Amino acid sequence: MKNILLIDDDPFLVRVYRSLMDGVGYQTFFLENGERAVETAIEVKPDLIVLDLIMPVKDGYETLKALKGNESTRDIPVVVLTVIQAEEEIKKVTELGAVEFIVKSNSSFKDVVNKIKEILR
C-alpha cells in the first residue's frame, strides 16, 4: 500500500482527498501546515507528498525547502496543489524540487487523484 502525506489547511479538501485516496488503495496522512512536515515524513515514510502553498504557521515554500533540504526526505516526490496560478510561482516551486504543480481551480478531484496515480506507478 502506498502512503501519501497531504499538507493542506482546508478541512473540506482534506476530507475529499482522504476519501478518494483511500478509495484507490492509498493510506493517507494529513497535516494542517508545514510545521511538522519533515518529522512526519520521516515517521510515515510517504511515497508522495501533496503540498499546498498558502497555509498558516509554515507555508508551502518553506515546507518544500525543508523537505528537499533534509537527507531523509529529499527524494520523496512532492506535488504542489494550490490556488496560485502565476508562472513565476510554478517556476519557483519546480526549482525548489516539486515534481508537479496543480492549480486547484483548474483540476477536478479525479484529475488530481489520476495525476497522483500516474506519478506513483
Q: In what order do the strands lie in the sheet with 100-103?
A: 27-31, 3-7, 48-51, 78-82, 100-103
Contacts of 53 (CB under 8 A, 6+ apart): 59, 60, 61, 80, 82, 84, 89, 93
Stretches in the chain below the pLDDT threshold 70 = none
Range of the domain at 62: 3-119
> What are the tens digits of pLDDT across the range 10-35?
999 989 999 999 999 999 999 998 99
Number of domains observed in the structure of the chain: 1
Q: What are phi and psi of 53, to 5 degrees?
A: -95, -40
Task: Identify the residue whose cell numbers are 496560485.
Answer: 84
H helices, E strands: number in the chain: 5, 5
CATH, residue 20: 3.40.50.2300
pLDDT on residue 85: 85
pLDDT on residue 86: 86
Q: Model-level pTM?
A: 0.94
